[in-house]
Amino acid sequence: MALRIGRRDIGPVTILDLTGKLAGEANETLADRIEDLIDTGRTSLILNLRDVSFIDSAALGGLLSTRSAVMKAGGRLRLLNLTDRVWDLMVTTKLELVFETFRSEADAMEGFAPR
């Protein structure tokens, strides 16, 4: 299944609802979408991974690069609803220490300052 990216804007926060596999060309597609958001000043970002069935190693690197780009623009990138499989991968690679991860949308939204 190709990656589908839905977008919801709630105040200053943009939530990207991802569905499918985050691998191959999908990495570039997601990076491009986030770059477009940064270019328009939307830098309070949440990636909802509830419906992501697979993430490959290139996608992990892409998420790190994306996080750096968002932070460089003065924003924050948070991960929401990681599946057990994705969480295990984050723990194995120690990336759970790098990313802010949340199980509820309300918790993920908390702390983003209104603009």
pLDDT at 103: 94
From the list 77, 80, 55, the residue with the least C-alpha distance to 66 is 77
pLDDT at 115: 47
Per-residue pLDDT of the chain (115 residues; tens, 9 = 90+): 689 999 999 999 999 999 999 998 898 999 999 999 999 999 999 999 999 989 998 898 999 999 999 999 999 999 999 999 888 988 998 998 999 999 999 999 998 855 4
Strand partners, 44: 13, 76
Tokens 């991968």 sit at which residue?
Answer: 89
From the list 55, 103, 61, the residue with the least C-alpha distance to 78 is 103
pLDDT at 24: 86
Distance CA 52, CA 12 (A): 24
For the whole model, what pTM was predicted?
0.92
Distance CA 71, CA 52 (A): 24
Distance CA 49, CA 41 (A): 23
pLDDT at 113: 59
CATH of span 4-109: 3.30.750.24
DSSP 2: -
